[in-house]
A and B are shown apart, each in its own frame.
Chain A
Amino acid sequence: MSKFRNKDGKPAPAINTSSLPDIVFMLLFFFMVATTTKEIDPLVKVHPAQGVGVTDLTPFKQRSTVDFVYLGEPLSGDVSKFDKGVAVQYDGLLHPDGINYIGRWKMAKFNDKPAEMTDPKENIITVFKADEKVPMGIIFSAREILRDLDFNSIAYSASEMGNKNDYSIREQ
């Protein structure tokens, strides 16, 4: 009857796991190559805008010639404390002056680097990573400050739209 019963009472042979490290290392290397490090922990909620034909910023990040400015609703704290409900995040800091702080922040970043490592001002790109509901007025005030300081390369962050052919624009 019992065809599968272990007749001689021997224990099941152990599975050979000597190739397990190889497999895990393969996975590890895959993830090391395919991902990029996180910039900073976000303090504002950013739902990215959609677009086609965007430029990949990875090469600029490797040369560290980009500065990110995050704009959106704060994740914690009182929304009404911020002008128009939009908090502006600079390198892990929500500044109470909002967008008007951008000039001082850029100058400090520019002067902090040793002189032989700084790129010319026009090569450093300021990327606005804004939530889709952020009003453009804020970004234009930032543009004006940056123009007066000669940081005249900017970028509007957007995620690649992919196959779905629809911009997510708020209807009113």
Chain B
Amino acid sequence: MSKREVPEINAGSMADIAFLLLIFFLVTTTMDKDTAYLRKIPKKVETEQPQVPVEEKNIYKIVINSKQVIQARDSIINPEDISTLNSRIKHFYTVNRDKKVDRALNYPYYAFGTKELYTNNLRNQENRLGALESQEEIDDKTEKMIEQTLMAIDKWQEKLDMMNLYSQYSGKKEMPEIAFEAHIRLESFVDTDYSAYVAVQSEVQRAVTELRDEEASALFGTTWTAMNRYIIQNELEDTPELRVYKEHTELIETLYPLRLIEVKPKR
């Protein structure tokens, strides 16, 4: 049998095909990424009990009117000076940090948690749970109390874990915790522009992110932004890094919580 020669395939039109594909992708795709500020809408709660008003010092109130002029606490900020909000919010967070006496009166106070305090609280709640469960008759009221106690145990256990993590990395025995009521209250008008509202959101985000990044670099040597990005990108995988990062960001977010209340406009 004679050896048959394989004819060479003409690849001259390959470039045309590739160009066609290239142009198709150029037309159907975009370069710009979608970016946004993620927020949560608080759940509706219906209670008859009157709410205890939050102390004035724990609120950082920002109002944007329909002319895009901003009032932050007592000062008026014109739209072109909006970037000063960043340092104002940082001041609100940090002015009383690490201070036990001689605190600025009009700003949120800090509590100082210790290992002993959290362990004690945890033990107290466990004793309470034991006492409740050993009761002879368990009626609805006791059941409710048991439920509450279990939640309290979870909360203190979580705090104790965070305290351990904090002292392990910082070497400090006390963890500064901002008043749990401290929050930023953002009020707007019906006619406030979206751009002005987003600009304030941006300043709030920037202030908190910078504080968190600073703290994270000091404690863990990486920024909160980097860890958070990793978590978002690899949320569905279960890597050991992801678990470590989740613990670390949780601690940082407890130290500098972003509590932003967006109030529905009335006018």
Task: Check if A and B associate.
Answer: yes
Q: A interface vs B, CB < 8 Å?
A: 17-18, 20-21, 24-25, 27-28, 31-32, 34-38, 49-61, 63, 66, 68, 71, 125, 127, 129-137, 139-140, 143-144, 146-148, 150, 152-161, 165, 167-172
Chain A contacts for B194, CB-based, 8 A: 49, 71, 130-136, 139, 156
By the criterion CB–CB under 8 Å, are A35 and B202 in contact? no
**Which residues of B, 125-171, contact A by the 8 Å Cβ criterion?**
none
* A contact patch SS: mixed
Q: Mark B3-23, 1 if CB is under 8 A from A, else 0.
A: 000000001101101110110
Chain B contacts for A158, CB-based, 8 A: 35-37, 198, 201-202
A57 to B33 alpha-carbon distance, docked (Å): 8
Give min CB distance, A120 to chain B, whole Å: 14
- What are some 17 contacts across the A-B interface (CB < 8 A)? A21-B17, A28-B21, A28-B22, A31-B22, A31-B25, A36-B30, A56-B33, A61-B34, A135-B192, A135-B193, A137-B190, A137-B265, A154-B40, A167-B82, A169-B80, A169-B82, A170-B196
Of B101-109, B231-239, B243-251, which stretch is located at the interface? B231-239
Chain A contacts for B14, CB-based, 8 A: 20-21
Given contacts A53-B209, A172-B68, A127 and B34 within 8 Å (CB-CB): yes
Give min CB distance, B232 to chain A, whole Å: 5
By the criterion CB–CB under 8 Å, are A167 and B35 in contact? no
Cβ-closest chain A residue relative to B189: A136
Chain A contacts for B202, CB-based, 8 A: 50-54, 158, 161, 167
A20 to B11 alpha-carbon distance, docked (Å): 10
A27 to B24 alpha-carbon distance, docked (Å): 12
Q: Does B100 contact A (CB under 8 A)?
A: no
Given contacts A127-B34, A127-B36, A160-B35, A169 and B79 within 8 Å (CB-CB): yes
Chain B contacts for A170, CB-based, 8 A: 68, 193, 195-196
By the criterion CB–CB under 8 Å, are B209 and A156 in contact? no
The total of Cβ contacts below 8 Å across the A-B interface reads 202
By the criterion CB–CB under 8 Å, are B235 and A59 in contact? yes
By the criterion CB–CB under 8 Å, are A56 and B195 in contact? no
Cβ-closest chain A residue relative to B198: A49
A131 to B195 alpha-carbon distance, docked (Å): 8
Q: Does B96 contact A (CB under 8 A)?
A: no
By the criterion CB–CB under 8 Å, are A24 and B36 in contact? no
Q: Does B1 contact A (CB under 8 A)?
A: no
By the criterion CB–CB under 8 Å, are B37 and A169 in contact? no
Given contacts A20-B15, A31-B25, A147 and B39 within 8 Å (CB-CB): no
Chain A contacts for B67, CB-based, 8 A: 172
A153 to B37 alpha-carbon distance, docked (Å): 11
By the criterion CB–CB under 8 Å, are A55 and B37 in contact? yes
Of B41-49, B53-61, B174-182, which stretch is located at the interface? B41-49
Given contacts A52-B205, A155-B37, A171 and B79 within 8 Å (CB-CB): yes
Q: A147 is contacted by which of B41, B193, B225 (Cβ under 8 Å)?
A: B41
A130 to B34 alpha-carbon distance, docked (Å): 12
Given contacts A132-B195, A158-B202, A171-B68, A37 and B22 within 8 Å (CB-CB): no
Q: Does B222 contact A (CB under 8 A)?
A: no
By the criterion CB–CB under 8 Å, are A50 and B19 in contact? no
By the criterion CB–CB under 8 Å, are A36 and B29 in contact? yes
Q: A56 is contacted by which of B35, B190, B265 (Cβ under 8 Å)?
A: B35
Cβ-closest chain B residue relative to A32: B25
Give min CB distance, A152 to chain B, whole Å: 4
Cβ-closest chain A residue relative to B197: A136
Cβ-closest chain A residue relative to B199: A167
A56 to B194 alpha-carbon distance, docked (Å): 19
Q: B26 is contacted by which of A31, A130, A136 (Cβ under 8 Å)?
A: A31
Given contacts A32-B25, A52-B205, A54-B37, A148 and B44 within 8 Å (CB-CB): yes
Besides A136-B189, A153-B40, A172-B68, 14 other CB < 8 A contacts? A31-B25, A34-B31, A49-B198, A51-B198, A56-B229, A57-B33, A59-B232, A66-B34, A68-B34, A136-B188, A136-B265, A152-B41, A152-B43, A155-B37
